A and B are shown apart, each in its own frame.
Chain A
Amino acid sequence: MVTKLMNWFDDRLPLTATIERHLTKYPAPINMNIWYLAGVLLVVVLVIQLASGIWLLMNYEPTAEGAFASIQYIMRDVKYGYIIRYMHTTGASAFFALIFLHMFRGMMYGSYQKPRELLWVLGWITYFLLCALGFTGYVLPWGQMSFWAAQVIMSLFGSIPYIGEDLLTWIRGDYLISGITLNRLFAFHVVLLPLALIAVVFVHILALHEVGSNNPDGVDVKKFKDADGVPLDTKPFFPYDVMHDLYAIGVFLIFFVAIMFFYPDGGGYVIEYVNYEAADNLKTPEHIVPSWYYTPYYAMLRAVTFPLFGLTAKFLGFVVMAAGIAIFVALPWLDRSPVKSIKYKGIYSKFFLALFVVSFLVLGYLGAVPSTPARTIAAQIFTVCYFAYFFLMPIYTKYETCKPVPDRVQLG
């Protein structure tokens, strides 16, 4: 009966072939470690965000007059509305925490190197889309921080020479941040960006299954195959990885739920306290801080305090900030190392990767606190360190001595 049904489908759709290709016969390296969990958890969070987002949408009102009150309506009057909203806010932070880990994994094990350049670029696009989703979503509750974050970020476009002011008005749809701006950000957040994200994530996974997963040793597992043509150092994704991931998802959800139900504000990081006040265009909050996942870039923006070549400091800061996000896409072509994994790369690669991580964390801290002259200097130094990892990469990866890479993966 089941076989018959499957045959019926297979004649009309490559069902069995798809299941085999992506699940039961997808070869996953046996030495994948804990860092490889971020990817599957990201998919889980994507589903959480889509589901909770749809339910939020049922009661949210996208107008300047009604947005803030409709959030409170969801929190108080909608049955279990607070669970849906906290799921979405916690999910947003989890999304970024996981994508940072996922990207770091790729940087550590050289997962962007040939033949995975396109995979990396697609991943970078999802990161960019996520930044846009985070920003547009943050504005929707129309609290004080929503409003002023929109004000600060959008005003950056106004710093572009010649066209800036007109461009800014065009983007806002008004002469200042208003309900019109809210409406367009809403449209982007619930339609355009999620559609694009789902599409790119889909292609990202297709590309992954075409080239195969990298592994902590960065060796090509397809080199050695058994008699059936199955790579030796791999296991089928289903059931082995799926069972493993199920367990990991359980552990992840314990943390997720603990924050969601017991610390939904996350100490002011998941939901900022200033956002408990409705947007007021006549009252500027004392410190305007972005969400924690943008603070490294916010620190870069503020680090540029001097005009150069006739360009304003604000515009240059904007450029540096945008470059900080964009630069990742160039990694596959910056890395000249003959080896993939940091395990076998030389001492310089290790040093610069560590420097990058430290810079990212320090900038994240500096972007969250009010700036002082000393902190600005620190931000400038660490911005340089951040970019040094990328710009010096062609040099230090080419001239360092690497350790010999084994033919097959190493366990333990």
Chain B
Amino acid sequence: MNKKSRILTFVVITAASLGALKVHAASGAACGSFLSEDGLTKGECKEAYINAKDKASLQRGAQVYMNYCLGCHSLKYARYKKVSEDLEIPLSMFQENLIFGDQKMGDLIQVGMDPKEAKEWFGNAPPDLTLEAGLRGPDWIYTYLTSFYIDESRPLGVNNKVYENVGMPHVLIDMQGTPRSVCKQIPSFADNGGIKQDPLTGEQLTEEKCGFLQVDNGTGEMSPEQFDKTMLDLTNFLAYMTDPLKVERETIGTYVLLYLFIFTMLSYLLYREFKKDLH
């Protein structure tokens, strides 16, 4: 094989594998009937801009989780002590404020609820969330948390755009306020992507689209921006739960790579010396 065809083969294989990856990304966990803010895309998750190194965000997320979520959702593969260490929350403070009942620091984070009874109450036992961010992705979790709305036809009075007819109540409704699914006038777009205009007046044409989420003014303890930020913190915490050693792993990985670069360089020089013998 000559050099040209060798390069060609490489390019083809790389392109094919990148193509395959792209297909996979497109078929990832979609967000149900969630409508984007501009009303143009449906079912695509909002991007969760989270940072595993942001300890303050993780601490806030842990606080929300322990107070609002842990009543039903266990984190049964993780231990209290590890969370307090990783998030740099002092042991005594953690013990006083974030551990309820008679659980010990070294215990796995369990819930007291009996799964059989839970199934009767909610139709399905609330799942363990240790690995939820791995299963569904942080974007999905973030979009889901911000997609509850009032729906009187449901037994618990709320529904979710991302997970239709979910059995979970809107636990954070006091925090968020009353979210509703509303209709809005949005600019209508032509097939070429431009905004449609009235040919006579030049006015922009609009159309009505339904399914937007809006919180009733002044009903929540938090402003919409604050709530959004809190949900990002919670998402960040769940992402940390799935992959608690991400930061450590990437730090070690960097050192290993550095070592390997030096090793490879030296081994290349050695190889070059030996190669001289052959010609």
Contact = CB atoms under 8 A, between A and B. Distances in A.
Interface of A: 30, 33-34, 69, 72-73, 75-77, 82-83, 108, 216, 235, 239-240, 243-244, 246-247, 249-251, 253-254, 257-258, 260-262, 264-265, 267-269, 273-274, 276-277, 292, 342-343, 361, 364-365, 368-370
Of all A-B residue pairs in the complex, the 6 with the closest CB atoms, nearest first, are A261-B253, A250-B264, A72-B77, A276-B134, A276-B135, A276-B131
B191 to A, nearest CB: 25
Contacts of A262: 250, 253
Contacts of A277: 131, 135
Contacts of B254: 261
Contacts of B245: 75-76, 82
A278 to B, nearest CB: 8
Q: Is the interface of B mostly helix, strand, loop or mixed?
A: helix
A254 B135 contact: no
Nearest to A72: B77
A77 B264 contact: no
Interface in B153-200: none
Contacts of A244: 271, 274-275
Interface in B17-56: 19-21, 23-25, 27-29
B242 A276 contact: yes
Contact of A261 (B244, B249, B261, B275): B249
A239 B274 contact: yes
A257 B21 CA distance: 20
A76 B134 contact: no
A152 B25 CA distance: 25
B93 interface: no
Nearest to A235: B278
A343 B24 contact: no
Contacts of B24: 267-269, 368
Contacts of A254: 257, 260-261, 264
Contacts of A34: 6
B225 interface: no
A261 B275 CA distance: 33
Contacts of B275: 240, 243-244
Given A292-B20, A365-B19, 9 more contacts: A69-B77, A77-B82, A239-B274, A246-B267, A246-B270, A250-B264, A250-B268, A262-B250, A276-B242
A139 to B, nearest CB: 18
A341 to B, nearest CB: 9
A365 B20 contact: yes
Q: Is the interface of A mostly helix, strand, loop or mixed?
A: helix
28 contacts: A72-B77, A76-B82, A76-B245, A82-B245, A82-B249, A83-B252, A108-B1, A240-B274, A240-B275, A240-B277, A243-B267, A243-B275, A244-B271, A244-B274, A246-B267, A246-B271, A247-B271, A249-B267, A250-B260, A250-B263, A254-B257, A261-B250, A269-B24, A273-B135, A273-B136, A276-B135, A368-B20, A368-B23
A30 B278 contact: yes
Candidate in B79, B245, B260, B277 with the most chain A CB atoms within 10 angstroms: B260
Contacts of A33: 1
B118 to A, nearest CB: 16
A369 B21 CA distance: 11
B178 to A, nearest CB: 33
B8 to A, nearest CB: 11
Contact of A216 (B1, B253, B264, B268): B1
A340 B6 CA distance: 19
B137 interface: yes
A76 B77 CA distance: 8
Given A240-B274, A243-B274, A253 B260 contact: yes
B126 to A, nearest CB: 14
B16 interface: yes
A273 B134 contact: yes
A381 B117 CA distance: 53
A102 B243 CA distance: 34
B249 to A, nearest CB: 6
A360 B134 CA distance: 30
Interface string B229-258: 000000000000010110001101110110
Contacts of A273: 28-29, 134-137
A274 B137 CA distance: 11
B78 A240 contact: no
Contact of B257 (A239, A258, A343): A258
